[in-house]
Amino acid sequence: MSFIRENRLRQLVFVLWHELGKHIDTTALERGIREEGLGWALPTDSTVADDAYLTPEELCRLLGYTESGIRNWKQRYNLHTTDDGKYRWGDVRAVLEDRGGPRRRAS
């Protein structure tokens, strides 16, 4: 899929997801989507400040990746972490944008 088509598809998912949330509670649906390894397709929480520090567990829930995969980002993408292993959201977001967005998690 081309980058432009993928971005348009993500925009469509974003709009549909927020419209759906006006009519039903999407908590259970979101949990099921993430359990199937498709959390990468869900809109991310744009309210997270760039200077916020998130644990691998929080990033896992937010992005749909495995915790072990996220822990590898420190070496793989040269991301800096705090002493307790937290990642700065702005740095993570920049890596995802450079890569063209989140990738599917292996099932």
Is the dihedral angle over the CA atoms 12, 73, 97, 46 positive or is it negative?
positive
Q: Specify the pLDDT at position 45.
A: 57
**pTM for this model (two decimals):** 0.54
pLDDT, averaged across the chain: 81
> Terminal CA-to-CA distance of the chain, rounded, Å?
20
Q: How distant is the alpha carbon of residue 99 from its chain centre?
A: 12
Bridge partners for 54 per DSSP: 87
pLDDT tens-digit series, residues 29-62: 888 887 887 877 777 656 678 899 999 998 887 7
Pairing of strands 53-54, 87-88: antiparallel
Q: Specify the pLDDT at position 22.
A: 86
Higher pLDDT, 16 or 54: 54
